[in-house]
């Protein structure tokens, strides 16, 4: 399978996305936690290039293979902290928005709010949305795994 397009954006879009990432990574959230959020949302959305790139990026931030292999089953493992669990639950609820799903419940939001301040929560939610943005572009154009950012 080959990608349908070589690029989906020009310098204007790239610049805008870079500004959004500055906001996300400047909000005081541990960059490794943001990588876990990205990876989990990308797994849910079956975005091979984002899963591949997310694993690569998480490893650059010092993530272990043991935890990376367990992100998909984070609830059943002892490898994640309570703040990470709250962020992963928020990620799943915000990503799984198909018909009939409850989305981000008050319970899920309260758990996340117990670990992150408003600025950090805003950054996590924005990061989930940006991940979905890239997941959908990559799925539409059939971008292939193997590239990193």
Give me the phi and psi of 115, to 5 degrees please: -115, -20
pLDDT in tens, the chain (149 residues): 666 566 666 677 778 889 999 999 999 999 999 999 999 999 999 999 999 999 999 999 999 999 999 999 999 999 999 999 999 999 999 999 887 888 999 999 999 999 999 999 999 999 999 999 999 988 888 777 776 66
State how far the Cα of 117 lies from the Cα of 129, in Å rounded to an integer: 18
pTM for the model = 0.90
State how far the Cα of 48 lies from the Cα of 144, in Å rounded to an integer: 7
State how far the Cα of 128 lies from the Cα of 48, in Å rounded to an integer: 16
The two three-digit tokens of residue 2, written as one number? 């080959």
């Amino acid at each position: 399978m080959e990608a349908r397009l070589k690029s989906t954006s020009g310098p204007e879009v790239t610049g805008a996305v870079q500004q959004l990432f500055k906001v996300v990574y400047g909000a005081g959230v541990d960059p490794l936690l943001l990588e876990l959020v990205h990876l989990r949302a990308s797994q849910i959305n079956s975005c091979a290039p984002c899963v591949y790139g997310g694993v690569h990026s998480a490893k650059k931030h010092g993530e272990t293979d043991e935890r990376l292999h367990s992100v998909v089953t984070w609830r059943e493992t002892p490898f994640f902290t309570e703040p990470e669990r709250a962020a992963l639950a928020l990620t799943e609820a915000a990503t799984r928005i198909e018909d009939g799903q409850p989305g981000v419940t008050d319970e899920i939001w309260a758990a996340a709010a117990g670990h992150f301040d408003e600025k950090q929560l805003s950054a996590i939610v924005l990061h989930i949305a940006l991940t979905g943005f890239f997941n959908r572009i990559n799925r539409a154009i059939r971008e292939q795994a193997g590239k990193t950012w």
